[in-house]
Amino acid sequence: MVVRGRIDILVLQGQLWVLVIESKRAEFSPKVGIPQVLSYMLAAPNGNFPRYGLVTNGTDFVFLKLMVQEVPCYARSRQFILGQDNDLERVLQILKHLAAMIGLS
């Protein structure tokens, strides 16, 4: 598979793609970036490890998890919105959890 485009941010640990981040302008919903980040995640050289993604416009955040198997399967989080309830705290907790999973914290 050949994917052309530019990943906005790629977090690596060794050769393992830890997190692919796609950012969009503030006037766009992060949902418009989901197909783009999924295509990057599908092209990642991670073998059978889960792949994680984040799409944001700076205010709204959507996390993705892709399981690569015979038929790839992904799940997405709800849309977290800064300034709403405890959403900033929750976004930071998720990022901290991802870092802990790979031993960065």
**Residue extents of the structural domains in the chain:** 9-101
Tell the residue number behind the tokens 């977090």, with chain if given: 11
Sign of CA dihedral 96, 10, 19, 22: positive
pLDDT at 54: 94
| pTM score of the predicted model | 0.85
Torsion angle of the four alpha carbons 28, 71, 40, 81, in this order, in degrees rounded to the nearest 10:
30
pLDDT at 8: 86
* Calpha distance 28→39 (Å, rounded): 19
pLDDT tens, N- to C-terminus, the chain (105 residues): 555 667 888 888 777 788 888 888 888 888 889 999 998 888 888 778 888 999 999 999 999 999 988 899 999 999 999 988 899 999 999 999 888 877 755
